[in-house]
Amino acid sequence: MIEAAMIWNEPNNKSHWDPELDPDWSRFARMGRIAGEAIGAEAPGLTRVLGGISPIDPNFVSNMIGQGVFDQLDAVAVHGFPLDWNLWPIDGWPQKIDEITAVTDLPVWVSEVGASSFGAEEVQEFGLHRTAELLIGRVPRIHWYSLFDLPQAWTATTRHKEAEGSSYYRHFYMGLLRENGTPKRAARSFADYTPALGICQWFHFEDQRLDDAVMWLKRLGVTQLRTGLSWADSFRPDADRWFDRMMRALEPFEVTVTFCFTPEHRGLAPHHTSPPLVDEEFAEFCARMLRRYWRAGAGFAPSPARLGAAAEG
């Protein structure tokens, strides 16, 4: 079931939102306000979360507060990878959480935290144990990133790709499972921390790993899952068929669904990081997805197409 709707992913990171097109984030703020209003109208009571910020920056949070975004939110999320990319030590997690709680009363979620096995699986294993010690009981939601390694044939969503050196290649080793599906050292003890630890796992369009993911999530005792529904993917042929399959498969979990990624033909620039030409179109995508998938009361809210099919049957 959907337990939360997240507005964008890492909006203060140039790999996910173009600061050259929106240097003061006023375009993002307007889009976020409108999306938050639409989510609240479509799914009253559903938790609305500001997409995990990276870097963890209280000034960005204050900016969003000043521009009225937090009037339409119920929580704010942060991302941190101190063993791989951040310029602060892993023991700095409590301080980083305190920096955000100093500027907002909203709950702080950690919607992506992890450690790569790029150098050694023992490093990832240590990162798991220390992260659990530092964050369980301190924040209401923790999503470990991620279940699967990124396949070598794919590309990581970064600004400069291979030119980033080892920083880029670490993206491919964040999973508890290797590309071939075998578990790493950290996977052996992950279940010691569930259900307090959830998982963040992004699924690509028609991702062949979906069924294996469900099997492993259940095996590891995961109940809380974060994933994404891509606005850009919604324009692909048979997009709703794939979205339906994915959301059906994920029904056993408490899902934080992240709405993000601008379609190239609907942005100020032809890139998924671009602000949209029309903010209301992103809000309508969020509302449409919730009309189709939000669990209301005892059952999965059917889409108009499903209602029509039932009537014909």
DSSP letters of 270-304? SSTTSPBS-HHHHHHHHHHHHHHH-EETTEEPPPH
* Lowest-confidence region among 92-101, 131-140, 144-153: 144-153
Domains and CATH numbers, the chain: 2-312 (3.20.20)
What's the pTM? 0.92
- Angle among Cα 129, 105, 50 to the nearest 5 degrees reads 70
Q: What is the pLDDT of residue 24?
A: 97
Contact in structure between 90 and 83 (CB atoms under 8 Å): yes
In this predicted structure, the answer to whether residue 29 has a pLDDT above a threshold of 80 is yes
Q: What is the mean pLDDT of the chain?
A: 91
Q: What is the pLDDT of residue 305?
A: 38
Across the range 145-157, mean pLDDT stands at 78
Q: What is the pLDDT of residue 151?
A: 73
Measured CA to CA, the distance from residue 262 to residue 248 in angstroms comes to 24
Q: Which residue has the tokens 């969503």?
A: 157
Q: What is the pLDDT of residue 308?
A: 35
Give the three-state DSSP class for 140.
coil
Q: What is the pLDDT of residue 78?
A: 98
**φ, ψ for residue 5 (rounded to 5)?**
-120, 125
15 burial level (CB within 10 Å; 0-12, 13-18, 19+): middle
Beta pairing partners, 193:
none
Q: What is the pLDDT of residue 140?
A: 98
Q: Which residue has the tokens 């909203």?
A: 106
Q: What is the pLDDT of residue 297?
A: 36
In this predicted structure, the answer to whether residue 170 has a pLDDT above a threshold of 90 is no
165 burial level (CB within 10 Å; 0-12, 13-18, 19+): exposed
Contacts of 297 (CB under 8 A, 6+ apart): none
Beta pairing partners, 227:
257
Encoding tokens for residue 160?
A: 């400069």
**φ, ψ for residue 277 (rounded to 5)?**
-65, -40
Measured CA to CA, the distance from residue 49 to residue 300 in angstroms comes to 21
Q: What is the pLDDT of residue 311?
A: 33
Across the range 84-89, mean pLDDT stands at 94
Contact in structure between 4 and 295 (CB atoms under 8 Å): no
Taking each helix axis from N to C terminus, what angle separates 239-249 and 279-293, rounded to the nearest 10 degrees? Answer: 50
Q: What is the pLDDT of residue 306?
A: 35
Contacts of 225 (CB under 8 A, 6+ apart): 143, 198, 199, 200, 201, 217, 250, 253, 254, 255, 256
CB 26: neighbour CB atoms within 10 A? 12
What are the pLDDT digits (tens) for 192-249?
999 999 999 999 999 999 999 999 999 999 999 999 999 999 999 999 999 999 999 9
Confidence of residue 75 (pLDDT cuts 50, 70, 90): very high
Q: What is the pLDDT of residue 206?
A: 97
In this predicted structure, the answer to whether residue 165 has a pLDDT above a threshold of 70 is no
Q: What is the pLDDT of residue 158?
A: 60
Q: What is the pLDDT of residue 7?
A: 98
* Lowest-confidence region among 22-26, 30-34, 47-51, 171-175: 171-175
Measured CA to CA, the distance from residue 77 to residue 260 in angstroms comes to 15
In this predicted structure, the answer to whether residue 175 has a pLDDT above a threshold of 90 is yes
Instruction: Kindly list the distances between the CA atom of residue 142 and the CA atoms of 183, 220, 274, in Å, as whole numbers in the listed order.
Output: 21, 15, 28
Sign of the Cα pseudo-torsion (50, 51, 52, 53, in order): negative
Q: What is the pLDDT of residue 172?
A: 76
Across the range 19-37, mean pLDDT stands at 98
CB 217: neighbour CB atoms within 10 A? 21
Q: What is the pLDDT of residue 164?
A: 53
Q: What is the pLDDT of residue 159?
A: 57
- Give percent of the chain with pLDDT exceeding 90: 86
Give the three-state DSSP class for 269.
coil
Q: With CA atoms as reference, report the closest residue to 31 among 299, 300, 284, 312.
A: 284
Measured CA to CA, the distance from residue 232 to residue 84 in angstroms comes to 29
Q: What is the pLDDT of residue 155?
A: 66
Confidence of residue 163 (pLDDT cuts 50, 70, 90): low
